[in-house]
Amino acid sequence: MLSNLPQQPADALLALIKLHNDDPRTDKIDLGVGVYRTGQGDTPVFGAIKAAEKKLLETQNSKAYLGPEGDMGFVHALMPYVFGKDDPTMGGRIEGMQAPGGTGAVRLAVALAKKAGVQRVWMGVPSWPNHAQIFGDLGLELKTFNHATKAGRVDMDALVTALNLAEPGDAVLLHGCCHNPTGIDYTPEQWDQIAPLVAEKKLLPILDLAYQGLGQGMEEDAYGVRRVLREVPEALIAYSCDKNFGMYRDRVGAIYVMAEDAAALGRVLSNGHALARAAWSMPPDHGGAAVRLILEDEALTAMWLDELDTMRTRMNQVRARLAAAGTAGSVDFAALGHQAGLFSILPLSADQILKLRSDHGIYMAGSGRINIAGLTMGNIDKFIADVAAVSAPVDA
């Protein structure tokens, strides 16, 4: 029976990593995989994480199983940062559970939505490829609309049209901040328009907050999620600590549920626990415990936030340098200056992307998505010049 399974295509991004690693050129640039890098090209372990792990090593006295809900101290410690310090439970209507990374949180959120009766999800495209894969694997219909205009701004007309076409009981997937892959985020004013429309249409929002703190700041990046939650009776929120704590391989995430009331909240979470038990049984403990220890300690929290500020500042400096370059060939870099987070998409053809790789040692996804953190002040001028070289208009 197993031999009847069809061959699946290799993951293009993983293949890109191998091609880059095998390239002997010393001036090659890796803009593919979505991890933060310093100006020296490293992906460091946060000092706050190192300190928390040391503390965990010294104080942890058991490796017994967690329940399917995971480390609830971790789940609760995050809530003031996500939902605000004044009332992070929204009057007892929000509770959560740990998940293996943001991917696990999205998967569980979508599974809960389906179990509740959702059959169709609306999503702006392009989006993180795993979103569509999860919807398809769970058998949900996916309806798409354009997320951005060619000028590199949010396509609000397309979004409003899509939401007006949606039917009560549909779900809508929205990126909380630092949109992957475009870097094009909704402004507070646009969130103010989106939130009441989602409520008016009686849609279930699935809010993916995977990069909080990497855009404008921890508070600023939470605006959209909080704004939607003020309008709607219920919502699902997927959260990742993989990027803003640098815990990529430890898979640290959480899913939060906002229900109409406390009684409904308990029923929803009981379904979440059952789905988690059948999928991964219990989430991994180490990363969540390290994050919890940071957020329970004022000094470690301050250290973490300072490290996060350093990351955000560096990426904003890269964006500012790109924007200052203006137009290079046929690519207008100015738009990247008002985008946020790790990613942006360059309007390059497949042939141009291949030429950048073969002739200049620049590796990026076939979609034109680049990891901003792969650029440094030492290689950015080369990158701009190489993009200009491959995209320069050909005289007739």
Reduced to 3 DSSP states, what percent helix, strand and coil does the chain have, rounded to the nearest 5? Answer: 45, 15, 40
- Please identify which of the residues 30, 185, 221, 243 carries the catalytic annotation: 243
Helices (H), 116-252: 129-137, 156-165, 188-200, 218-221, 223-229
* 128 catalytic residue (yes or no): yes
Tokens matching residue 281: 């049984």
Whether 243 is a known active-site residue: answer yes
CA distance 136 to 121: 10
Contact (CB, 8 A) for 121 and 143:
yes
Set 128, 170, 191, 242: catalytic member: 128
What is the C-alpha separation between 169 and 167, in angstroms, rounded? 6
Q: What is the DSSP string of 34-85?
A: -----TTS--PPPHHHHHHHHHHHHH----PPP-TT--HHHHHHHHHHHH-S
| Stretch (H or E) spanning 92 | none
Residues whose CB falls within 8 Å of the CB of residue 329, separated by 6 or more in sequence, listed in order? 387, 388, 389, 390, 391, 392, 393
**Catalytic residue selected from 30, 155, 170, 208:** 208
Catalytic residues: 128, 208, 243
